[in-house]
Amino acid sequence: MSGKTYPVPADWAKNALIDADTYEEMYARSVNDPDGFWAEQAKRLDWIKEPTIIKNTSFDPVSIKWFEDGELNVAYNCIDRHLKDSGDRVAFHWEPDHPDQPGQTITYTQLHERVCRFANVLKSLGVKKGDRVTIYLPMIPEITYAMLACARIGAAHSVVFAGFSPEALAGRINDCDSTVVITADEGRRGGKTVPLKKNVDDAMPHALGVEKVLVVEHTGADITMKGGRDVWWHEAAAGVDDFCECEPMNAEDPLFILYTSGSTGQPKGVVHTSGGYLTYINFAHRAVFNYEDGDIFWCGADLGWITGHSFTLYAPLSNGATSVMFEGVPNFPDASRFWQIIDKYEVNQFYTAPTAIRALMGAGDEYVTKTSRKSLKLLGTAGEPINPEAWEWYHKVVGEERCPIVDTWWQTETGGCMLTPLPGAHGLKPGAATAPFFGIKPQLVDNDGNVLEGAAEGNLCILDSWPAQARTIYGDHQRFVDTYFTTYKGKYFTSDGCKRDEDGAYWITGRVDDVLNVSGHRMGTAEVESALVAHDKVSEAAVVGYPHDIKGQGIYVYVTLMAGNEPSDDLLKELRTWVRKEIGPIATPDLIQFAPDLPKTRSGKIMRRILRKIAEDEFSNLGDISTLADPSVVEKLIDNRQNRS
């Protein structure tokens, strides 16, 4: 782990919404008096009926309720309440896949009108409060209308990333019994089109409960519409009113179901509710990103993921923010795209994932340095441990050492950020998720459940509930209890490994399943990967264990090189020596495989479980690969592996 700490810059310590003393004071109150603390935070929202019961939660037996007698509507909080004073304010700038395509700018007033129409169309298709609607749309403005329309009429949305296969889509439709699916003719990503409507058609024989498919026209591709089932959005929208009342919802009514990334296996349909979720993320958006009125906020996450739900959509809108929504990918038409968008809209806070940062770092600095980025005040990352080398690059090259980086650790199940530095309160340690957010009580335990105090490394648990916590797994509450609350009774188990250093800062070391045990030494995959990424020829690395006669587990390394470098035996030797020197002989890789690409989930996380199988020569039994971004990567790795040995 990198030993460096960047102290809070003086202007941040002075001007940030939360400074170090305020953090200490507020954190203490949040854990000692959660009722008082969260009752106050709930005032950020407009309630139809203010809650009088704040926290009613238990992890043994499992029962989680926040603000249970409160009533509100999430869409009202994201749109209607801003209309009176800020109807003309831009809710979001929509940036298309290619810079030459026309973009859109949507004000709060326009958002209101379109969401109302969308809601009325859904009603005309028979959608009622309490139903589930599957949304399989690309990153176009209509996906926000669709999600907010569901929230407006009290239906839970289930957004399925628009890149999943027909099988993966059908599985998710069936799991939550949706009768309505919303899609587009096609999506666009990185200059390519994705045949969304065709995928829906192919999913239909396996999703027999679907009665209506609502289709948004995006690229104008020639598609087939099935009579009686398929409905064009623009035709239906023309025939409905542009006003729709908000449905009063109980704080504990479901807002959405979202399937996890599937990094570790079968995805889980995580259920989030209304009042606690919105209170928490509304607050986190202010506290973590130091979002102030007038700032332009850009979270690059797709709406198919929790980061997109919380920080591309619900949190910024509920704060009346102006944000950016981007259809495309970081490296199309070239690796300057992100930075050009930042300049175009004068983005102040930018939030992305380590996978994008590593890829852009691999492409070379000139793509960044030729842009201005002077509007940037703060940078953020989420989704995977960020290697210190990639952190430093983000800090130096992208942020010009001026922008604090918030490395936010959280999960689909947690709804909002759980561990993160606050820019005015915490010194930054490259690679550390640092400190608990308000109300979060982290604890490290060993495999037998013994509590670890002080500087230690172990399994990360959370001791008490927070408002944005998931309430259940859709249709399988027992799986919810078994997955999160049974390993360590009475505690929420995150399945992530974590280290707490001498200063009390938290470092995520990787998933517990990925931890290596080499000759009795436990090692996080993140640590070895970070050492490799610190080598100037390496852009990405993934580390897994494989059975080793002497050591128990050997270290198997997959390495992606920076643009312009070729694999060679000399480089192999160099990398082994490098890791030895960086961490110690115990971490010396036993086998290194050069990999032009790594298998990743659709949200860009490395799927180590597949790499483990390949390292173990178990090519036939790779498990569920439906959430892989590009399944052909696996074939190439297997080929490569077979040719090597």
Residues that bind ligand ATP (CB under 6 A): 260-264, 267, 306, 382-385, 407-412, 433, 494, 496, 508, 511, 603, 605
234 is in an annotated binding site: no
CB closer to ligand ATP out of 108 and 409: 409
Residue 641, annotated as binding a ligand = no
CB of 64 to ligand ATP, least distance (A): 18
Q: How many residues does the chain have?
A: 645
In the DSSP assignment, the letter for residue 598 is -
* Cβ distance to ligand ATP smaller for residue 322 or 509: 509
Q: Report strand pairing: 249-250 vs 192-194.
A: unpaired
- Closest distance between ligand ATP and the C-beta of residue 290, in Å? 18
Q: Is 264 annotated as a binding residue?
A: no
Enter the tokens of residue 135: 């949304």
Amino acid at the residue 194? V
Q: Is residue 511 annotated as involved in ligand binding? A: yes
Q: Could you give the CA distance from residue 315 to residue 312 in angstroms, rounded to a whole number?
A: 7
Q: What is the DSSP string of 26-86?
A: HHHHHHH-HHHHHHHHGGGS--SB--S--EEEEETTEEEEESTT-EE-HHIIIIIHHHHHH
- 107 or 264, CB closer to ligand ATP? 264
282 or 601: CB nearest ligand ATP: 601
Determine whether the annotation assigns residue 307 to a binding site.
yes
Q: Which is nearer to ligand ATP, 382 or 559 (CB)?
A: 382
Is 614 within 8 Å of 642 (Cβ atoms)? no
CB nearer to ligand ATP: give 210 or 287. 287
- The residue among 320, 337, 350 whose CA lies nearest residue 92 is 320
- Rounded distance between C-alpha atoms, residue 51 and residue 256, angstroms: 21
DSSP class of residue 563 equals T
Residue 519 known to bind ligand: yes
535 is in an annotated binding site: yes
C-alpha span between 345 and 532 (Å, rounded): 35
Looking at the Cβ atoms of 166 and 267, the one nearer to ligand ATP is 267
Residue 331 annotated in ligand binding: yes
CB of 627 to ligand ATP, least distance (A): 8
Residue 588: C-alpha distances to residues 254, 515, 535 (Å): 49, 15, 14
Strands of the sheet containing 90-95, edge to edge, are 104-107, 90-95, 322-326, 296-299, 349-352, 378-381, 405-407
The verdict on whether residue 385 carries a ligand-binding annotation is yes
Closer Cβ to ligand ATP, 322 or 459, answer by number: 459
> Any known ligand binding at 408?
yes
Q: At its nearest, how many Å lie between ligand ATP and the CB of residue 143?
A: 18
Provide the token pair at 540.
């990405």
Name every residue whose Cβ is closer than 8 Å to that of residue 505 and which is 6 or more positions away in sequence: 429, 432, 434, 435
Residue 497: CB minimum distance to ligand ATP, A? 9
Cβ–Cβ < 8 Å for 468, 311:
no
| Distance set, CA 471 to CA 1, 60, 129, 169, 189 (Å) | 35, 14, 19, 23, 33
Nearest to 460 by CA among 422, 511, 385, 403: 511
Q: How far is the CB of 373 from ligand ATP (least distance, A)?
A: 22
Dist CA 178 CA 48 (whole Å): 28
Find the shortest distance in angstroms from Cβ 640 to ligand ATP: 25
Question: Known binder of ligand: residue 191?
Answer: yes
What SS3 class is residue 466? coil
Q: Residue 348 or residue 626: which is nearer to ligand ATP going by CB?
A: 626
| Alpha carbon separation from 69 to 11, 66, 249, 411 (Å, rounded) | 42, 9, 10, 27
**Does 384 belong to an annotated binding site?**
yes
Rounded-to-integer distance, Cα 442 and Cα 465, Å: 11
407 is in an annotated binding site: yes
Q: With respect to ligand ATP, which residue has the nearer C-beta, 306 or 462?
A: 306
- Judged by beta carbon, residue 349 or residue 411, the one nearer ligand ATP is 411
Q: Which is nearer to ligand ATP, 326 or 493 (CB)?
A: 493
Enter the tokens of residue 563. Answer: 């643009």
Nearer to ligand ATP, 70 or 308 (CB): 308
> Closest approach of Cβ 607 to ligand ATP, in Å?
9
179 among annotated binding-site residues: no
For helices 141-153 and 108-124, what crossing angle results, to 10°?
A: 60
Q: How far is CA 470 from CA 66, 262, 414, 502, in A?
A: 11, 17, 6, 32
> Which residue reads 């139809």 in tokens?
48
The encoded tokens of residue 188 equal 């666009």
Least distance in Å: CB of 306 to ligand ATP? 6
The tokens for 320 are 């009346």
Residue 533 known to bind ligand: yes
Shortest gap between Cβ of 460 and ligand ATP (angstroms)? 9
Question: Would the annotation count 124 as a binding residue?
Answer: no
509 annotated among ligand-binding-site residues? no
Min dist CB 316 to ligand ATP, Å, is 19
**Residue (of 367, 125, 81) closest to 230 by Cα position:** 125
* Spatial CB neighbours of 482, under 8 Å, sequence gap ≥ 6: none
Which residues does the annotation place in the binding site? 189-192, 307, 331, 383-385, 407-412, 496, 511, 519, 522, 533, 535, 538, 580
Residues belonging to the binding site for ATP are 383-385, 407-412, 496, 511, 522
Binding-site residue positions for Mg(2+): 533, 535, 538
- Binding residues for CoA, by number, are 189-192, 307, 331, 519, 580
